Amino acid sequence: MDIAYSDKNPDLGRLYGAHLATVCERYDHALQASGASHAVVFSGAAHPVFLDDMVYPFRAAANFLCWAPLSDLPLSYVVYTPGERPVLIYNQPRGYWHVVPGAPDGYWTRYFDIRIVHELADASDHLPENRDNCVFIGEVLEPTQALGVERVNPSTTLNLLHYPRGRKTEYEIECMRLASRRGVAGHNAAKRAFMDGASEFSIHKAYCDAVSLTDNELPYGNIIALNEHAAVLHYTALDRQAPDPYRSFLIDAGAQVHGYASDITRTYSFDDSDFSDLIDRMETLQLDVVADVRAGVDYKELHVQTHHRIADVLVEADLASGSSESLLINGVTSTFFPHGLGHLLGTQVHDVGGHMENESGNTIDPPSGHPFLRLTRTLEENMVVTIEPGIYFIDMLLDKLKGTPAEKQVNWQRVADLKPFGGIRIEDDVRVKQDGCENLTRDAFSTA
């Protein structure tokens, strides 16, 4: 593996100590407020398939990944006591059916007291004696996995941990820079495959090969959508045959490095200048929105402002007529742009805390008429967010405009002409700064 993505990366090694100190500070605060003395953070367990001896692909818990870059280590724990070195209970089962985890190695190991166990039952030996003073963080599929700790996922503790996770450490941001570069390598390979006339399935394979990740290692299922499939917001069917005619390509695909994700979307036209022009308009719109990102901006307002920009594009492209205000009020913009502007990004693609008002767990609702907005907070320095406006031609939503005042505002012939192209989405991952932002995605494309 490229050293940039490995445990030998010197830049990550340089930044990790300060990151871990921040994680410890957050847990110190959460434990004190929760009246607890110790935290037990579970990596998770593989989910069994119903009535089968197989399991679903394992994904490590996000809270565990904040401690250590161990995305493929089930049935393991971090035990943290304020003022003490964190203990890593490293599960290394004995067996010959599957590959077992190797010896702990990498830039992160010197920060932990590592205890290797071979059976889940042995993990209990490495917990504090008084389990009543512990809180357990993680998904429990079987009672034995909680190791006798009764306070499992108390809401007070989770709120105190999840709210500050919106602000990323320098280590986390560097992981996401690397994830962006990795994802961009896949995007460039996918674009080449598209221009060569490949099927969705073949484009997906080209992407995975370029990022050197299997489907199970990707942060989310790739959206590889040709033609009208781009109108399905989470399209993942992957046709094995290329369509005829070959019109358009929307790819929403990311990568991960040490558990931290990138989330990138691009849209291309095969040879239609009209659809290319609409993509260019959306490219300009998206960059204008990114230019407004900085600390102190209310993300809800940025989302609503984007709807006004969408209205302008609809009018410029002769898809609709009327003022931007009337197009919003009558539901035209939300028909063409039905999802939210973006979300927090981190160890989860849709990272926790997007609706949190404070660490007490109070929430901020999305604006009226915009229920799918995943981020409603005021932007803070070192948040990493996505900016992903779109325009789609979705029959189900367009049909709802019939018989309403909006019907007369839509140029239905123009919609019919563009419907076979599916839709457009352009998405960048952006780090918030005090006076602007760092565009991780655009920087990665420039580097590539």
The CA distance from 244 to 226, in Å, is 10
Residue 94 neighbours by CB distance under 10 Å: 7
CB 251 within 8 A of CB 390: no
Domain boundaries, the chain: 3-162, 170-447
How would you classify residue 20: left for phi > 0, otherwise alpha for psi between -120 and 50, otherwise beta? Answer: alpha
pLDDT of residue 1: 59
The per-residue pLDDT string of the chain (448 residues; one tens digit each, 9 = 90 and over) reads: 577 888 788 899 999 999 999 999 999 999 999 999 999 999 999 999 999 999 999 999 999 999 999 999 999 999 999 999 999 999 999 988 888 899 999 999 999 999 999 999 999 999 999 999 999 999 999 999 999 999 999 999 999 999 999 999 999 999 999 999 999 999 999 999 999 999 999 999 999 999 999 999 999 999 999 999 999 999 999 999 999 999 999 999 999 999 999 999 999 999 999 999 999 999 999 999 999 999 999 999 999 999 999 999 999 999 999 999 999 999 999 999 999 999 999 999 999 999 999 999 999 999 999 999 999 999 999 999 999 999 999 999 999 999 999 999 999 999 999 999 999 999 999 999 999 999 999 999 999 9
DSSP annotation of 308: H
Buried-state track 431-447, b at ≥16 Cβ within 10 A, e below 16: bbeeeebbbbbbbbbee
Q: What is the CA radius of gyration of the chain?
A: 23
Q: Which residues contact 446 (CB under 8 A, 6 or more apart)?
A: none
CB 54 within 8 A of CB 60: no
The phi, psi pair for 224, rounded to 5°, reads -120, 100
The CA distance from 134 to 124, in Å, is 13
Q: Which two three-digit tokens encode residue 195? A: 């221009």
Beta-sheet strands, E only, within 154-290: 223-226, 248-253, 256-257, 260-261, 264-269
* Count of CA atoms in the C-beta half-sphere (13 A) of 62: 18
| CATH class in words for 3-162 | alpha beta
pTM above 0.95, yes or no: yes
Q: How many residues does the chain have?
A: 448
SS3 356: strand
The CA distance from 24 to 81, in Å, is 9
The CA distance from 164 to 157, in Å, is 12
Task: Give the dihedral sign, CA 42/46/48/52.
Answer: negative
List Cβ<8 Å contacts ≥24 apart for 13-18: 13/107, 15/169, 15/170, 15/171, 15/174, 16/107, 16/108, 16/111, 16/171, 17/111, 18/169, 18/170, 18/171
CB 254 within 8 A of CB 264: yes
The CA distance from 316 to 132, in Å, is 64
Query: Do β-strands 428-433 and 384-387 pair in parallel, antiparallel, or remain unpaired?
Result: antiparallel
Q: Maximum distance among all alpha carbons in the chain?
A: 72
Q: Which residues contact 376 (CB under 8 A, 6 or more apart)?
A: 299, 300, 354, 355, 363, 364, 365, 366
The CA distance from 328 to 305, in Å, is 10
pLDDT of residue 215: 96
Beta-sheet strands, E only, within 215-370: 223-226, 248-253, 256-257, 260-261, 264-269
Domain 170-447 is of which CATH architecture? Alpha-Beta Complex (3.90)
